[in-house]
Amino acid sequence: MSDRNEAVEPIVITGAGVVSPIGIGVDAFWENLSAGRSGISTIEIMADCGAPRNVGGEVKEFTDKTAKKTYLKPQRKSIKVMCREIQLGVASAALAIENSQLAVEEMDHERIGVDFGANLMLSPPETLKDACWACVENGEAERSFTYGDWGTTGLATMEPLWLLKYLPNMPGCHIGIACDARGPNNSITLDEASGNLALQEATRNIQRGRADVMIAGTTGTRLHPVKSMHAIMWDELANSNDPPESWSRPFDRNRSGQVLAEGACSFILESASHAKQREANILGTILGGGSSCVLDKQGKPHLRQALVNAMRAALRDAGMTASDIGHINAHGLSTGPIDNAEARAIQEVFGSAAGEVPVTALKSYLGNSGSGCGTLEMAGSLLALQHGIIPPTLNYQTPDPECGLNVVHGEPLATTNKVFIKLNVTRIGQASAIIVRAA
């Protein structure tokens, strides 16, 4: 994002929709966050998703029945072409619109847009198994898959609309259709970095005069039979004999890895004048953002430098210095290398104040839902600051001297500074940051 023009009108947040392991809707989410309740437990949606001991951050209240009868009732005819993570995202957008009291049907639909982030979506094995068996030579005995038969024999057994259930641009499409939003519509697939980027792009669309209102958010899941296998191969996953709610321990010396999860969160963004005209309740203001992706000389991800670049770009875009930031809402993955890289990046940007600025890490409540994590974590800070506090990090007991951060833990921290920076980064080095001032 380029340097901010002082004449550019502020973009405000007027609604939030949360679908999370600690509650659906902002009221339930805040109730459990403020009570320090973790959403990490034994997974019930599938017998074994591949996560260690089948533990993760699951949205247990979101079932086929509740989706059809409550959260996606207007879209119930389209549910058959939505996989679970698309459903989560569309439901979060509907909740955000309701929370904002935005009369979408009365608006100029050419002036409503959607910017939504999602993971790459994968078909579960049961969706593909019949088509795959159709391409096996000599029946099941030899189990020799013939790739040349897939385009004819295999695909012919698939349901016609199969692919529409698993395209990462479909959350934005379904949201746009539901709202008859004919303005800008874009999808971002940068895993954990997606949320901050979707909000930044939505902000720019309004500032450039392309829309009056943008629905911006993300959805994601890692509670998936294939994605969890990828996580086992690629990531450091927590595993313990302790209760599941204690597994996610960002920046703690005894952390053992991340916890897989699912979730979605959407925000309604408007120009300040548009929000004032309709007397909207303002939750916060987008002040600036930045992003970066860095590889070292060996072609490996340089997470620390990417985070440094993203933070500095966000501060520059907001016209601020590090001393203006009231707290950091960290990526806080709970893995050794990534937590350490994030801590070093904070130390580089905040200098001598790095050990003083409060840091909170909300994956300790929610786990890591991939693309869904950033917006959910941002909602935590945004809601907490309405009450003048910074939410504590769960399970932080033994400070890691390698990190050296002022991690808020034990009890919420009272604050009068409403400005925070939200950080996220992917394991391949894509970093994003956004600065928000809560109302």
Ordered structural domains, the chain, with CATH: 11-121+167-438 (3.40.47.10), 125-162 (no CATH)
For residue 160, the model assigns a pLDDT of 87
The token pair that represents 431 in the structure block = 């970093």
pLDDT band at 283 (very low <50, low <70, confident <90, very high): very high
| H helices present in 113-158, as ranges | 125-133
| Mean predicted confidence (pLDDT) in 192-199 | 98
| Cα-based angle 363, 364, 368 (whole degrees, multiple of 5) | 30
pLDDT at 186 over 90: yes
pLDDT tens digits along 332-390? 999 999 999 999 999 999 999 999 999 999 999 999 999 999 999 999 999 999 999 99
**CA 408/CA 358 separation, integer angstroms:** 6
CA 195 to CA 71: how far, in whole Å?
22
Determine the distance from the C-alpha atom of residue 52 to the mean position of all C-alpha atoms in its chain, rounded to a whole number.
22
Looking at residue 371, its amino acid is S
The per-residue pLDDT for 141 is 56
Q: Is 17 exposed, middle or buried (0-12, 13-18, 19+ CB in 10 A)?
A: buried
What pLDDT sits at residue 2? 42
Per-residue pLDDT at 8 exceeds 50:
yes
- 194 exposure class (CB count in 10 Å sphere: 0-12, 13-18, 19+): buried
| 173, containing H or E segment | helix 170-179
- Helix-strand-coil percent breakdown of the chain, rounded to 5? 40, 25, 35
Which SS3 state, helix, strand or coil, does residue 166 take?
A: helix
| Across 254-283, average pLDDT | 97
Other CB atoms closer than 10 Å to residue 323's CB: what's the count?
A: 10
Q: For residue 165, which of 86, 256, 74 has the smallest C-alpha distance?
A: 86
Residues in a beta bridge with 358: 406
Nearest Cα to 227, choosing from 253, 249, 258, 248?
Answer: 258
